[in-house]
Amino acid sequence: MNSTSALTSVAGPSGAGDLLQLMRDGTPRTRAELIQLTGLARSTVGSRVDALLAAGLLAPSGEAASTGGRPPARFAFNPRARVVLGADIGATHSLVALTDLSGAVIAERAERLDITLGPRPVLDSLVRTGKALLKSAGRTRRDLAGVGIGLPGPVEHSTGKPAAPPIMPGWDGYDVPAHVSAGLGAPVLVDNDVNIMALGEHAAVYPDVEHLVFVKVATGIGAGIISGGRLHRGARGAAGDLGHVAAPHGGDALCTCGNVGCLEAIASGPAIVKALRAEGIEASDSRGVVELVRAGDVTTAHAVRQAGRDIGEVLATCVSMLNPSVIVVGGILAQSAESLLAGVREVVYGRSLPLATGDLQIVAARTGDHAGVLGAATMVIQHVLSSEQVEVQLAGLAG
């Protein structure tokens, strides 16, 4: 259903939320143009526009050409009406960004952290950073529409609680939304890090692509699935857990999840580091692997390419099942993109049917370190600007 047809089946007391969906493309429009687009009565459109203007979600945007008499005023979506915090929390780092309602970054801050310290110190740090970013931008907590958080482990999206995350001791079942909301006074949405990276890459680079798979290769391996233009989370939020699929050549390699032979156990950053050390090559972590590849170390480049092949073995099945048009590879190891992507492409294009791969692109992420924060912000923006939530906000203002 497109934005215009949605307006003809409005649910809610005013339907202003549906009107806002039409205006979110940023095109300034007059009331008369909105009446023509929607087929709704002048009084109905007028009341909806007035409600959105009062909430600051629409703003005046000049005047249209006059056909006689006073020129009609134009209105456009106002992305500066509220702000959003997006947080990408990794195993050893965090990046927090303040954005407007279009996802444009206003301010950001990167910090080192240790996820194994547990939820309280990590989330307290996030709250402090959020307050500092609001202050630096001259905004207050009243301006904060919501907070989006990505975590490096499984998350039950409906509750925002981590679910037995392998590398996050002490986080299982912790009420992350309640902790952060208490500190920042705004609604909080939580998802796993690769889902928000998929949202960020899709929103920033591939907004018109209906079917996309984002693969993160770093300390762990995971996938975010965009299907029909929407993020696919599955029944409990566990869709895309690529790293714990049994790899064809996984053997008896022990995984952090307790199983053996998982893809993550043979193709993640730590797995590559372990394989290199067996060859007498020292790499401290995934960044060290990338540095060795960039320095031209042939053995490391071969190890990364083999990891790409192993990932490709599992992805070939995903291509047959999901038929995406784009596979994006991100995460720290994607910075050694040529070696990793070469391995992935070699296997996927070789094993999948021509119908599935004829137009398939397998590319490196273009949003870099910002995929997560852009996706976390996008997750919140999609929620707070949905027709239903806009109606709730306007009803609160009217009350």
- Mind listing the pLDDT tens digit for each residue in 34-91? 998 888 889 999 999 999 999 999 999 876 555 555 667 899 999 999 999 999 998 8
Question: Is residue 390 scored above 70 in pLDDT?
Answer: yes
Domain identity same for 185 and 325: no
**Structural domain harbouring 315:** 206-365
Query: pLDDT category, 166, cuts 50, 70, 90?
Result: confident
Q: What percent of the chain has pLDDT over 70?
A: 94
CA distance 211 to 329: 15
* Residue environment code for 152-164, b if the CB has 16+ CB neighbours within 10 A, otherwise e: bbbbbbeebbbbe
For the domain that residue 210 is a member of, what is the CATH number?
Answer: 3.30.420.40
> What is the domain count for the chain?
3
Q: State pLDDT tens for residues 111-161.
A: 999 999 999 999 999 999 999 999 999 999 999 999 999 999 899 999 999
Domain identity same for 130 and 251: no
For residue 262, the model assigns a pLDDT of 96
Domain identity same for 352 and 210: yes
Domain identity same for 179 and 227: no
Mean residue pLDDT of the chain comes to 90
Domain identity same for 298 and 392: no
Domain identity same for 114 and 48: no
Q: What are the residues whose beta carbons fall under 8 Å from the beta carbon of 218, sequence distance 6 or more? A: 90, 268, 269, 286, 331, 332, 333
Indicate the DSSP class of residue 248.
T
Q: Are 152 and 113 in contact (CB under 8 A)?
A: no
For residue 39, the model assigns a pLDDT of 85
For residue 337, the model assigns a pLDDT of 73
Domain identity same for 189 and 219: no
Domain identity same for 361 and 232: yes
Q: How far apart are the first and last CA of the chain?
A: 31
For residue 10, the model assigns a pLDDT of 37
Closest CA to 294 of 306, 308, 283, 310: 283
More confident residue, 92 or 98: 98
* pTM, entire model: 0.88
Closest CA to 152 of 220, 200, 245, 198: 220
